[in-house]
Amino acid sequence: MSQRNQNRGERISEAEHAVMEVLWDTNPISASDVCEAICAERDWSIATVKTLLSRLVQKEVVGTEPDGRKFLYRPLIERSDYVGVESRRLVDRLFGGRAAPLFAQLAESEALTDDDLAEIEALLREMRK
């Protein structure tokens, strides 16, 4: 059921979200290992990662636990919660809360692969029950 845990709207920024993805993928994890995972890709310095981590801790969406002399970080919110909130936010903002127009939009802009279509059809059949 994954209860709502998007702390009173404490928004997670784009860069912060990139860090969250790492934490969701592997956790608990140290700051330097997070850097290991994305610094190259995003062309960041370790300092940047540390700042983002501490902002996430402040926002109470990431927790820490001491590990010897260093810290390990772990997400305090579920990725599915985050993704759900963000998806809904977009649907609300851009499509008046209706999902069908979003679907139409994606279809029109060719963002739907054949695989997507097949999968969605399967899901639909699934829900039909």
Partner DNA sequence: TCGCTTCGGCTACAGACGTAATCGAAGAAT
Partner DNA sequence: ATTCTTCGATTACGTCTGTAGCCGAAGCGA
Q: How far is the CB of 97 from a copy of itself (least distance, A)?
A: 8
Q: Are 26 and 65 contacting, i.e. CB atoms less than 8 angstroms apart?
A: no
78 binds, among DNA, a copy of itself, none (CB under 5 to 8 A by kind): none
How many Å apart are CA 35 and CA 41, to the nearest integer? 10
Q: DSSP assignment, residue 29?
A: B
3-class SS of residue 80: helix
Q: DSSP assignment, residue 76?
A: S
The residues of the shown chain that bind DNA, judged by CB under 7 A, are: 11, 13-16, 30-32, 42-45, 47-48, 50-52, 54, 57, 68-71
The residues of the shown chain that bind a copy of itself, judged by CB under 8 A, are: 14, 17, 80, 83-84, 86-88, 90-91, 93-95, 97-100, 102-109, 111-113, 115-117, 119-121, 123-124, 127
